[in-house]
Amino acid sequence: MWSDLESVGQARSGGYRRFAWTAEDHTLREWFAGECARRGLELTTDRVGNQWGWWWDGPGTVDDAVAAGRRAVVTGSHLDSVPDGGAFDGPLGVVSALAAVDRLREAGVRPQVPVAVTNFVDEEGARFGIACAGSRVLTGQLDPARALALTDADGTTYAEALRAAGRDPDDLGPDPQTLARVGAFVELHVEQGRALVDLGAPVAVASDIWPHGRWRFDFPGEANHAGTTRLQDRRDAMLGYADLVLGARHVATQRGCVATVGKVHVTPGGVNAIPSHVTGWLDARGADEEQVVATVAELTARGEEMGATVTRESWTPTTRFDQGLSERLRRVLDRDAEVSAPVLGTGAGHDAGILATAGVPSTMLFVRNPTGVSHSPAEHAEAADCHAGVAALADCLRDLTTGGATTGDGPQDGAA
């Protein structure tokens, strides 16, 4: 499976450009559908375009099982990428989910509840600017009208992209029927950091997602000739942007957060022209929510002193994963492990966090990344650790689907 995906959307940098509702995305979706068909999984697509492959050998249909109080245990991730992103962020979770299902079937496991593997669409938000768009619309956390009006760098709207991909934009919206099938969600993901390297463990269980958000800073100026305009006569929009970049590093360091200005748009964009307008996007995160808020407030004040208009584009407070579910998975992983599974928080957003916010019992497994690098071609995981991740995920799915029932209240321990 990994080899099949290796060349899809690969750029000259060695990284990947797999953006939502593009030709590359279509290829990835067809691959996922084919893998589901090869396993006899029932493929469904919700109102947003998220794909679900259902495994249920019990009596009746999946909906019959749900009606009887046996909600599904779901695993999976996403297949899209950031610009020149790594191979593992997202696809490792999808491939590992399919491999875990194979492992359970080979062992003769008969789940007492349905199992599903999912491919969430547009998790990275690389094309239209909102991360986890697929799970946000699914759960009602992103208004469909707002989503359809989003535009990419070429001015293509989300609605136009859906039409080009053969989907009806009018179908886009929350899908409570699909969401009602889900009793628990476990997302496996490559670690985006070096904690597991330092701890000497191949797999960890997640505890929470740090608070995080994105803000747009628009700095005004006046276009003029770079060679003939005296410095004292200039209204250079780039100066405010430069202050934002340096200020983000300084303020975040003082407050124990991380803040990044990773995207900029300059008008008119000529080497020999003074910028008349500069837009920069700030990303701020941290373990302490109050410090993140204070960091952004201080940078906003600095930006406004430079004439900027500041717009909050997104904000997600601390997302805590289901403590009972995380603890249960940690116990499962510790049964045969040489090294106890650590419990880690993360500064990265994930679909698991969106589902958790929507009330779905959710958590994550992290697989060791020896480089600690993510969103880059240098992102990596060793084959042995990937296999350890599959084994861990399979053990967790086995416990959740045979060691206890899943009801509307999530996984239960009664039958363990």
Helix (H, G, I), strand (E, B) or coil at 283: strand
Which residues have CB under 8 Å from 162's CB, separation 6+? 21, 49, 148, 168, 169, 172
Helix (H, G, I), strand (E, B) or coil at 181: coil
Residue 316: which pLDDT band, with cuts at 50, 70 and 90? confident
Radius of gyration of the chain from Cα atoms? 23
Q: Write out pLDDT tens, residues 351-361.
A: 999 999 999 99
pLDDT of residue 409: 42
pLDDT of residue 339: 64
pLDDT of residue 107: 96
Residue 338: which pLDDT band, with cuts at 50, 70 and 90? low
Answer yes or no: are the C-beta atoms of 167 and 383 closer than 8 Å.
no
On the question of a cis peptide bond just before residue 361, with omega within 30 degrees of 0, the verdict is no
Residue 340: which pLDDT band, with cuts at 50, 70 and 90? confident
Please enumerate, as own/partner, the contacts of 293-297 that have beta carbons within 8 Å and a separation of 24 or more.
293/211, 294/255, 295/251, 295/252, 295/255, 295/257, 295/259, 296/213, 296/215, 296/259
Q: How far apart are CA 270 and CA 265, in angstroms?
A: 12
Q: Which phi and psi angles does 124 have, rounded to 5°?
A: -75, -25
Q: How far apart are CA 111 and CA 59, in angstroms?
A: 12
Displacement of CA 151 from its chain's centroid (Å) = 20
Answer yes or no: are the C-beta atoms of 135 and 354 closer than 8 Å.
yes
Answer yes or no: are the C-beta atoms of 144 and 101 closer than 8 Å.
no
Q: Which residue in 295, 218, 321, 222 sits closest to 263, CA to CA?
A: 218
Answer yes or no: are the C-beta atoms of 102 and 59 closer than 8 Å.
no
pTM of the shown model:
0.88
Distances from the Cα of 241 to the Cα of 23, 124, 244, 317, angstroms: 35, 25, 5, 26
The angle, 0 to 180 degrees and rounded to 10, between the axes of the packed helices 91-106 and 23-39 is 10
What average pLDDT does this structure show over 4-27? 96
What average pLDDT does this structure show over 26-51? 98
Helices (runs of H) and strands (runs of E) counted in the chain: 14, 17
Distances from the Cα of 324 to the Cα of 32, 64, 77, 412, angstroms: 31, 27, 21, 9
Q: How far apart are CA 337 and CA 340, in angstroms?
A: 6
Q: Write out pLDDT tens, residues 269-310.
A: 999 999 999 999 999 999 999 999 999 999 999 999 999 999
Residue 411: which pLDDT band, with cuts at 50, 70 and 90? very low
Residue type, 16: Y
| 157 CB neighbour count, 10 Å cutoff | 16
Helix (H, G, I), strand (E, B) or coil at 265: strand
Residue 401: which pLDDT band, with cuts at 50, 70 and 90? very high
Token pair listed for 27: 């290829």
Token pair listed for 377: 């071609």
Q: Write out pLDDT tens, residues 234-258.
A: 999 999 999 999 999 999 999 999 9
pLDDT of residue 335: 85
